[in-house]
Chain A
Amino acid sequence: MIQLPCPWCGPRNVAEFRYSGEVTPRPDPATATPEQWRDYLYIRRNPSGWVDETWYHGTGCRRFIRVSRHTVSNEARPAVRTGTTAPVDVTSTDSGAPDAGGAR
């Protein structure tokens, strides 16, 4: 069983997470054509290599997190917390949040 680097909880077994899929931006429903909307619903890059994914740590911090995972080696890189686009600050310890670096 692989581990995922949760930016809040540290490395945890993947069974604690639910896969929410490749990060796919939601088009503006007011302007999206049906084709664009269905691309958002069904079409994924599915690369052989690195891919940004959203996972839900339901059996842990209950946060939606982003993970960069290599689909061939299953290597997973320290993630960003959702809601932000910046990588987690691995040096900060005073925020009440854990360090996220070196999860692998």
Chain B
Amino acid sequence: MTDQSVRAHPTATSSHRLQAQPGEVIDRTRSLRFTWNGRTFPAHPGDSIVSALAAGGERIFSRSFKYHRPRGILSADYHDPGTILQVDDEPNVRAAHRPVTDGIAVSSQNTWPSLRYDVKAANQLVGRFLAPGFYYKTFIKPERLWPAYEKVLARFAHAGRISPDTPHGYYDKRYAHPDVLVAGGGPAGMSAALAAARAGAGVLLVEEEHQLGGHLRRGGPDELAVLAELRAAVAAEPGIEVLTNSVALARYDDNWVPVVQRGLPGIPERLVKARVGTLVVAPGLIERPYVFAGNDVPGVMLSTAVRRLINLYAVRPGERAVVLTANAEGDAAAQDLRRAGVDVAAVVDARRGEDVVRVHGRSGVRAVELADGRKIEADLLVTATGWTAPTSLLNQSGARPVYLPRAARFTPGDGLPDEVMVAGGIAGDGDLDRLRTHAEAVGAEAARRAVVRRHAKLTAVPTRAGEAPAAPDGQPVAIPELGFDAHPELFRGRTHGMVDFSEDVSSKDIHSAVREGYDSVELLKRYTTVTMGPAQGKLETVNAVAVLAEATGSTIAETGTTVWRPMYTPPTLGALAGRIFEPVRHSPMQPAHDRLGAAPLVAGQWIRPDHYGDPAAEVRAVREAVGIIDVTPIGKLDLRGPDIPELLNLLYVNKWSKLEIGRVRYGVMCAEDGVVFDDGVTGRLADDHYLMSTTSSGAGAVWEWVENWLQTEHSPESATPWKVHVTPVTTAYASINVAGPRSRELMGRLVSGVDLSDEAFGYMNVRTGRVAGVDDCVLWRIGFTGELSYEVHVPAGYGLHVWEALLEHGRDLGVRPFGVEAQRILRLEKGHFIVGQDTDGLTKAYGAGLDPLVKLDKPDFVGKPELAWQHEHGAPSRLVGLQLVDGAVVPPEASQIVAARSDSGAYIGSGSAIRGRVTSSRMSPTLNRSVCLAQLDADLAEPGTTVTVRLPDGRHLPARVTEHHAHVDPAGERLRADAGVQVGPARDCGTPAARTALAPTGELPATVDGSGSLRITDAGPLAKVLVRAPHDGAIAAAIGVRFGRAARDADGALVVGSGPGEWLVLGGADGRDELVARLERLTDQPGEFASVVDLTHGRALLRLHGAATAAALAKVCAIDLSDDVTPNGAALRTSVAKVVTDVVRDDADGVPGYLLHCERSSGRYLFDALLDAGAEFGMDLDAHPMTTS
């Protein structure tokens, strides 16, 4: 609810602004204006919204959560529960922290119709009905009224207004790898950071406030002098990076610390994910409110709040004050007030047993009643009754807080791991010098531990240059003990008051919850919601525990405290979501699909053409003439080595020992539990060279599966080592399926070097040859569509050329591009199943109808024992062809099959039991009726059985199990449709032009910026050749580059040690054939198994160069890119913007540079992600192909 009822006020004046204060943070030379509930207020740069409003005399900022009591300033910092406001379209702004900017419109939340006249304040009168558990108890029954309850309750919710029109902000994310992260930039934090940096550590110093300084900022001349000295030292120390207006949100395993950084220009929030060597926790102490009647009335403030208002913002917090003090902070507040001209009517010293009983006044303090009976007129009551140690990060590190009665606060306790340390007021008490000395020792020791950890990391990474450095020999630094000063235990006075200001939980509520049996702290928390509001326990935890202890008659130590969980302060959801990295993959033919108006289909990461406007017409074109489809996503694995038949026999359920060169076989893979896992064809190209194809979605999993067997059961070190190298070449080729009765005619016009006649190139054969002028193409004669068809794999850079040539030279034949939808119809007509569509996670080979394929007489194959078992016991369900009797109805996929009738009309089994489901269904343009595949219980799977399909709309329709899975051409005659047609000769298709992944049409996007601190170059044209050989043999020695490093060889090629026993060699764009030949000679060593695979077309390669490269990469890459871990010549593979990317550090002329290298299909996405990451640094584009040297 916002306050719109107050209009036409005169502009407020800064009536409560003091003369200049020595430590003030406002810039009086400049003025800003903003509005508060429609009224204009002045401010200075440096003012928080609340300080500017307080300077204008405002005292009420919100209404409380349950009772809608007026609320004013309590702590005057980020955690202040009563000053959470709406700023423009942003709700829930911590207004005591947020700086004023010119022109903002600020309004109160949770008030209606206005802040001053809030009708819901009537809740105060019915307060006894809003006892703890009120909502649980009241709105539980009847259930049918829940929607109505929800509507009413939502109006009472304590939150701002979200505008659906708000544009999505740029929520940034970056990674950091500081040796030491200091959480808290007060005197202790700064001292620790300085000592750590001087001991050789890289330090990240994180401070929640807008400036470093902690409590020194609100201090007097002595504190300000120390502050100036410390700030100057930090600024002069190059080893310290300071993040102000930032919070270390949590500490997770292995010192993983998320830091939210706010207020950056153009970036609402940035999440810094820091992997920290040593975490130093130095948040200081948070002042605790005092519980008594009226403690939430506007005008009751903490002493720290008063000191902040006076010293930082030069705001007079009231006219006549009473100060309740139990410590030096309260005494200082009284002095500050006097200095600011406030009439301090009384100082109530709790150390002498004096006390405040209650405050009179409703919308502001009018008088303060003391324990000695005096009633003092005042508009301000300041309390200084003790401290809360914010042990959040320590608890998350394993420490359990311990209550110390003498100091009246919790202390960190034991259990901290070696990599987490404590400094400052949270660690203990002492004067400033003592705390600084302690913090310096902590900082030095933190640095020593971090350097040891860094050395261990350097020793473990292969990217370092040369030998590991010598182990650090620093001796542990002795850390002086800090004591704890005595402090009176003050939690609740003689009256009941507010404990949780965010959630409106009073001490009375806690007593009543305990009477109801909620007498443990974790139960109490959940029942009353105490500590669960926006302040998350920072102000209220200790008081809640103390009141609970009082109510249960136990001690605070016995009662214990709640667990401080992440996050320490709430970040926005935007910060947690960050920049979203969702990699997409494109085929080289995507520009053609765009031009042809293809409807995109998102299939996994791939963007594919679903159809080009009319899938049924596309189907007819394939059945009657010829169609072409982009099937680039089909998985392709290049297999090399003598033991490939062994591997295929293991992975596929069928036999592979006698596959001749030039032949292709279909195979199905099962997992060890016999469940169908993938299928595809594999062809033999040469003696020791096969090409395996997989499903599009299974490509990655099959590759990993093959590697798994080759690296474990049949690794070189195993009893049965197999010599096989597998290389994914999915996007090294653009794949086009040319299907239809006229496909041979069309292919004849483009193909040279291959006899396409049925006798020479029959069904299930593979050839290599030239297509449309492009060499090294692989042609398969296979048919997913059931038509005569050729699958053409073209070196990817030429994919667009071949696609265009097929369309151009097939025009008179009626060629048409077809999309995934048409292909799905075609294959369903033909009865070909799709793994994962017509099978599920329980479908074993027999259940998929693969009986003839499974060869149980093989000695072993993956899943054999399970399939042997199923063979013996029978599959519970079967895949069948199914046709509804009414062919005009297409049952939606996943429709249930509920019952079956025998021919006599009797139901088989129960009439309502689910007996199967429709797995695929389409209207067949060829048959003009609907066709389906279905999974059915085995006893219903006999052809001719009539079953009942239950549609989602409730209709029950009869359907019949068909003889074959294939609805069209079950005999397979169409595969030889045109055996007699005259084929060829090949036509001239022009000189093919290769395209890179970054520039699929031949052009890069226009230059983004001209400032040149970063430059991206498309290095795609370079030759890229993958070499595999034993990582420790003679070939490895001859190559001379180890895993993790890169170097140029004598011929200028860049040799990258890209994996253990794996090298990627980058050579000049024109020298590919020579490079391959040279590497084949190099790897021809007797007794060593090696392979050389050309990946020139299979990879996107780009170069990022310039001073800001590491900073830009840190936004998309979690690897430590510092000069010792990733020096020049380092080579590693990792995730960059969620794409698996090879990163090679390759400096030039002393300027950092990186080569980045990924699967070709992800190249354009990676390029866009890098442009985005680099935008803030200024970026140039350079389309000129780089040279290697």
Binding site for B on A (CB under 8 A): 1-3, 5, 8-13, 15-16, 18, 20, 26, 29-30, 32, 34, 37, 40-41, 54, 56, 58-64, 74, 82-84, 93, 95-104
Answer whether A99 and B460 are a contact pair too, CB < 8 Å, given A61-B1133, A64-B712, A83-B716.
yes
Query: Is the beta-carbon distance between A98 and B708 smaller than 8 angstroms?
Result: no
Residue of B457, B460, B718, B859 ringed by the most chain A CB atoms within 10 A:
B460
In Å, the complex CA distance between A90 and B373 comes to 77
Stretch at the interface among B238-246, B566-574, B864-872: B864-872
Smallest Cβ-Cβ distance to B1061: which chain A residue:
A96
- Asked if B1071 is at the interface (CB within 8 A of a chain A CB), the reply is no
CB distance from B446 to the nearest CB of A (A): 18
Question: B773 near A: Cβ within 8 Å?
Answer: no
Cβ–Cβ < 8 Å partners of B718 in chain A:
83
B672 adjacent to A102 (CB under 8 Å) = no
Instruction: State the main secondary structure of chain A at its contact with B.
Output: loop
CA distance A92 to B689 in the complex (A): 35
CB-based nearest B residue for A95: B1032
A33 CA to B463 CA, complexed, in Å? 48
B847 CB–A CB distance under 8 Å: no
Q: Are A59 and B704 in contact (CB under 8 A)?
A: no
**Which listed segment binds A: B259-267, B299-307, B542-550, B1036-1044?**
B1036-1044
Question: Which chain B residues lie closer than 8 Å to A2 at the CB level?
Answer: 253-254, 256
Question: In the complex, A26→B1057 CA distance in Å?
Answer: 33
Q: Quick check: is B673 within 8 A (CB to CB) of the other chain?
A: yes
Q: Are A99 and B459 in contact (CB under 8 A)?
A: yes
Task: Please tell me if the beta carbons of B460 and A100 are within 8 angstroms of each other in the complex.
Answer: yes
- Contacts between the two chains (Cβ within 8 Å), count: 130
From A10, A11, A26, A97, B1060 is in contact (CB under 8 Å) with A97
- Interface flag for B468 (CB, 8 Å): yes
**B717→A93 contact, CB < 8 A:** no
Contact B253 A1 (CB under 8 A): yes
Q: In the assembly, what is the distance between CA of A99 and CA of B460, in Å? A: 5
Measured CA separation A3–B718 after assembly (Å): 28
Tell me the minimal C-beta distance from A75 to chain B in angstroms.
Answer: 9
Using known A-B contacts A82-B715, A95-B1032, determine if residue A1 contacts B460 with beta carbons closer than 8 Å: no
Q: Tell me the smallest distance from the CB of B544 to a CB of chain A, in Å.
A: 30
CA distance A8 to B253 in the complex (A): 22
Within the complex, the shortest CB–CB distance from B1017 to chain A, in Å, comes to 25
Task: Check: B113 CB closer than 8 A to any chain A CB.
Answer: no
Q: A97 and B1043: CB pair below 8 A?
A: yes
Binding site for A on B (CB under 8 A): 252-254, 256, 275, 455-457, 459-463, 467-468, 672-673, 704, 707-708, 711-713, 715-718, 859-860, 864-866, 869, 1031-1032, 1036, 1042-1044, 1057, 1059-1060, 1118, 1132-1135, 1140
Within 8 Å by CB of A30, from B468, B860, B1036, lies B860
* Further contacts, 7 of them, CB under 8 A, given A59-B1133, A63-B1059, A83-B711: A1-B256, A40-B672, A60-B1132, A61-B1133, A62-B1059, A93-B467, A99-B460
Partner of A8, one of B462, B865, B1118: B462
Q: Which residue of A lies closest to B712 (CB)?
A: A82
Q: A58-B1140, A62-B707 are in contact. Are A96 and B459 (CB under 8 A)?
A: no
A-B interface, 8 closest residue pairs, ranked by CB to CB distance from nearest:
A83-B715, A98-B462, A102-B456, A96-B1042, A10-B461, A10-B460, A83-B717, A37-B865
With most chain A CB atoms within 10 A of its CB, the pick from B253, B275, B1036 is B253
Q: With A30-B859, A102-B460 in contact, is A64–B253 under 8 Å at CB?
A: no
Q: A56-B704, A61-B1060, A93-B468 are in contact. Are A8 and B1043 (CB under 8 A)?
A: yes
Q: Whole-angstrom distance between the alpha carbons of A11 and B463 in the complex?
A: 12
Kindly state the separation between the CA atoms of A102 and B918 in the bound complex, as whole angstroms.
55
A16 contact set on B, CB distance < 8 A = 1134-1135
How far, in whole Å, are A41 and B1059 apart by their CA atoms in the complex? 31
Q: How far is the CB of B723 from chain A (nearest CB, A)?
A: 14
A62 to B710, CA, bound (A): 12
- Assess whether A64 is in contact with B865, with CB atoms less than 8 Å apart: no
Considering the complex, give the chain B residue whose CB is closest to the CB of A98: B462
Q: How far is the CA of A30 from the CA of B865 in the complex (A)?
A: 8
- By beta carbon, the residue of chain B nearest A31 is B865
Q: Are A9 and B1132 in contact (CB under 8 A)?
A: yes
CA distance A8 to B455 in the complex (A): 17
Closest residue of B by beta carbon distance from A86: B717
B468 touching A99, Cβ below 8 Å:
yes
Is A61 a contact partner of B704 (Cβ separation < 8 A)? no
Name the residue on B nearest A32 (C-beta).
Answer: B865
A–B Cβ pairs within 8 angstroms, 15 of them? A3-B254, A10-B462, A30-B859, A30-B860, A56-B708, A59-B1140, A64-B707, A64-B708, A74-B253, A82-B711, A93-B467, A95-B1042, A96-B1036, A98-B1044, A103-B457
Which residue from chain A places its CB closest to the CB of B258 in the assembled complex?
A1
Query: Known: A41-B673, A98-B461. Is A58-B715 also a contact (CB below 8 A)?
Result: no
Closest to B256 in A: A1
Q: Are B1060 and A8 in contact (CB under 8 A)?
A: yes
- Report the minimal beta-carbon distance from B1158 to chain A, rounded to whole angstroms: 11
Whether the Cβ atoms of B1031 and A97 lie closer than 8 Å is yes
Contact residues in B for A59 (Cβ distance below 8 Å)? 1133-1135, 1140
Check A20–B708 contact: CB distance below 8 A: yes
CB distance from B272 to the nearest CB of A (A): 14
Contact of A9 among B462, B711, B859 (CB under 8 A): B462
**How far in angstroms is the closest Cβ of chain A from B254?**
5
Residues of A within 8 A of B708 (CB): 20, 56, 64
Please state if B704 and A18 are interface contacts (CB–CB under 8 Å).
Answer: yes
**A residues near B459, Cβ cutoff 8 Å:** 99, 101-102
- A96 contacts B711, C-beta separation under 8 Å: no
**CB-nearest residue of chain A relative to B175?**
A13
Tell me which of B455, B864, B1060, B1132 contacts A63 (CB under 8 A).
Answer: B1060
Of all chain A residues, which has the CB nearest B1140?
A59
Question: A97 and B1032 in contact (CB under 8 A), knowing A2-B254, A60-B1133, A62-B1059?
Answer: yes
Contact A13:B866 (CB < 8 A) given known A1-B256, A59-B1134, A99-B468: no
Q: How far is the CA of A32 from the CA of B1060 in the complex (A)?
A: 35
Nearest chain B residue, comparing its CB with the CB of A13: B1118
- Which residues of chain A are within 8 angstroms of B866 by Cβ–Cβ distance? 37, 41
Alpha-carbon distance A1/B253, docked complex (angstroms): 6
Contact of A62 with B467 at beta-carbon distance under 8 Å, contacts A11-B457, A34-B869, A97-B1032 already known: no
Question: Closest approach, in angstroms, between the C-beta of B849 and any C-beta of chain A?
Answer: 23
Contact of B859 with A98 in the complex, beta carbons under 8 Å: no
Interface centre among B713, B1032, B1036, B1060 (most CB of A within 10 A): B1060
User: In the bound complex, do residue A5 and residue B460 qualify as a contact, i.e. CB atoms below 8 Å apart?
Assistant: yes
Complex Cα distance, B587 from A21, in Å, reads: 34
* B1031:A95 contact, CB within 8 angstroms: yes
**CB <8 Å contact, A101 and B712:** no
Contact A26 B711 (CB under 8 A): no
A9 to chain B, nearest CB (A): 7
Asked if residues B672 and A96 are in contact (CB atoms below 8 Å), the reply is no
Nearest residue, chain A, Cβ from B865:
A37
Minimum CB–CB distance from A96 to chain B (whole Å) comes to 4
Q: Which single member of A20, A26, A63, A104 contacts B713 (CB below 8 Å)?
A: A26
Contacts of A97 in B (CB 8 A): 462, 1031-1032, 1042-1043, 1060
The residues of B that contact A37 with a CB separation of less than 8 Å are 865-866, 869
* CA distance in complex: A30, B712 (Å): 19
Nearest A-chain residue to B456, judged by Cβ? A102
With both beta carbons as reference points, the residue of chain B lying nearest to A102 in the complex is identified as: B456
Cα separation A78 to B1059 with both chains bound (whole Å): 19
Task: State in angstroms the CA–CA spacing of A74 and B252 once bound together.
Answer: 11
Task: Please name all residues of chain A whose beta carbon is closer than 8 Å to the beta carbon of B1044 when the two chains form the complex.
Answer: 9, 98
Chain B residues within an 8 Å CB radius of A30: 859-860
Cα–Cα, bound, A29→B1043 (Å) = 37
Q: How far is the CA of A98 from the CA of B467 in the complex (A)?
A: 10
Residues of B within 8 A of A3 (CB): 254, 275
Q: In this complex, what residue of B is CB-closest to A23?
A: B712
Q: How far is the CA of A37 from the CA of B455 in the complex (A)?
A: 45
Chain B residues near A1: list those with CB within 8 A.
252-254, 256
Measured in the bound complex, the distance between the Cα atoms of B722 and A71 in whole Å is: 34
Instruction: Tell me the bound Cα distance from A48 to B862 in angstroms.
Output: 31
